[in-house]
Copies of this chain bind each other. A is one copy, B any other.
Amino acid sequence: MENKELFRLLAGKNSLRLELELKLNEMIKREYYAKSQIILKPGQIPNRAWFIEKGSAMGFVFKEEKKVPFWFWNENDIMVPLNSFFNQIPSETYIELLEPSVLVSISFDDVQEILLGFPESNDYVRKIMQDYQQMSEKRILEFAAYTPEEHYLHLMRDCPAIFRKASVESIAAYLGISRKTLNRIRSRTRRF
């Protein structure tokens, strides 16, 4: 059965209504992308909500010629630029794939149709937003309450996959520190 992992993620402990699964299967598009491909640019209105079946991605902006990543997505993550997607307004950020990836997606219009036709889908969308919000708050606290070293160690523990996929430069910028500082932390905390 295709899209199994996505459906499990949406429904939580229960499962989706069969009608909804069938409908989604009709709507869902699956696409294959190369590494480093940019799938969203500032100014574009994101017309699809993605699920990363395989691969990973990074959301970033440019600040003084440098990429500043603000979000990493991994395999089995739902990837939606919440604000620009749901309001259908131009994005202010980039999304770039960090490796060859398989993305499954659904269009904005199809999402609207689902929300109207399947009332319980409102709960699924709310759950997605809550998860984003929870991760964002965690991230804000990391910045506000922890030293760069603690912040780095937490990221390392919670999201080790990132370190195999993103550059040191990107991870440093994601943590809000310079590459030099990240290198210092890494050599300091490397245990032999």
Which residues does A use to contact B, with CB under 8 Å? Answer: 61, 63, 68-71, 82-83, 86-87, 115, 119, 122, 125-126, 129-130, 132-134, 136-137, 139-141, 143-146, 173-176
Contacts and interface: CB of A to CB of B under 8 A. Distances in A.
Given A61-B145, A140-B139, A143-B143, A133 B132 contact: yes
A119 B121 CA distance: 12
Contacts of A63: 145-146
A28 B64 CA distance: 48
Counting every copy of the chain, the complex holds 2
A188 to B, nearest CB: 21
B141 A143 contact: no
Nearest to A68: B145
A68 B136 contact: no
Nearest to A136: B136
Contact of A144 (B119, B134, B146, B173): B173
A82 B130 contact: yes
Contacts of A69: 144
Contacts of A134: 82-83
8 contacts: A68-B141, A68-B145, A70-B141, A70-B144, A133-B133, A136-B137, A139-B140, A140-B143
A61 B141 contact: yes
B133 A82 contact: yes
Given A61-B145, A115-B122, A122-B115, A133 B140 contact: no
Contacts of A143: 140, 143-144, 176
A68 B144 contact: yes
A50 B108 CA distance: 31
